[in-house]
Amino acid sequence: AQSVTQLGSHVSVSEGALVLLRCNYSSSVPPYLFWYVQYPNQGLQLLLKYTSAATLVKGINGFEAEFKKSETSFHLTKPSAHMSDAAEYFCAVNAGNTGKLIFGQGTTLQVKP
Amino acid sequence: SAVISQKPSRDICQRGTSLTIQCQVDSQVTMMFWYRQQPGQSLTLIATANQGSEATYESGFVIDKFPISRPNLTFSTLTVSNMSPEDSSIYLCSVNSGGNYEQYFGPGTRLTVT
């Protein structure tokens, strides 16, 4: 069965600091992994995706994530936080070959000036 | 990617009434999904809607409460029936587009039931 765990429901960083949002997955099939961002009062926007090609994936807004099979992790990073990065972030994994996604619990990123 | 719109964007409804949410996609897609996002929570899948077949509901969701229509490859509706305050949530539709299981989301419908 597939599952996703996001460690830390709330992360707070200073503007300009490194952003690290943690995601661990469990999958009985080759995983496809995704990070989504949700700004207040908006839908979800795809940040980046891992689809079994390069293990280091670059996304929009300066975010990137590294797929580590040995650690079953797909952590999201950004070298320098900006105030506009404050949002809710969701990690997701495909539910086998059903076309469905399984979402983590979400991490709220707060950026302090 | 796909561009998705939802109507209404928000609504305040009385308990016991029903609301139908529309989801329109700018391209033809096979799979559409309906999610519920309760306040401060993650997304919970309600059902998968494929054109030409009955929607498939996840555990805990039933057709009588959340009837879904999928008349063509670009449109779907979700009805929230006999509403109670516990149905106050954001309802999101998404589509599977571009392969590799990625989904694209509509802006959501924010529902408040009083």
Residues of B in contact with A103 (CB under 8 A): 42-43
Would the CB atoms of A44 and B43 count as touching at under 8 Å?
Answer: yes
Would the CB atoms of B103 and A101 count as touching at under 8 Å?
Answer: yes
Binding-face residues of B in 7-66 toward A, CB within 8 A: 31, 33, 41-43, 45, 48
Separation of alpha carbons B114 and B106, rounded Å? 25
**pLDDT digits over A55-102, tens only?**
999 999 999 999 999 999 999 999 999 999 999 999 999 887 788 899
CB A64 within 8 A of CB A77: yes
A89 min Cα distance to partner chain B (Å): 10
B18 min Cα distance to partner chain A (Å): 23
Nearest-by-CA chain A residue for B58: A100
Would the CB atoms of B33 and A100 count as touching at under 8 Å?
Answer: yes
For B70, the token pair is 């999928």
For B53, the token pair is 């077949």
Residues of B in contact with A43 (CB under 8 A): 4, 92, 105-108
CB B97 within 8 A of CB B28: no
**pLDDT digits over B27-68, tens only?**
999 889 999 999 989 999 999 998 888 899 999 999 999 999
- CB contact, 8 Å: B102 with chain A? yes
- Taking Cα atoms as reference points, which of B68, B29, B17, B76 lies closest to residue B46? B68
In the three-class reduction of DSSP (H, G, I as helix; E, B as strand; rest coil), residue B92 is classed as strand
CB B45 within 8 A of CB B58: yes
Separation of alpha carbons B30 and B42, rounded Å? 25
Q: Please name the amino acid found at residue B60.
A: G
Separation of alpha carbons B106 and B23, rounded Å? 8
Cα angle, residue B105 at apex, residues B103 and B106 outer, rounded to 5° = 155
In the three-class reduction of DSSP (H, G, I as helix; E, B as strand; rest coil), residue B103 is classed as strand
Peptide bond into B71 cis (omega under 30): no
**pLDDT grade for A51, boundaries at 50, 70 and 90:** confident
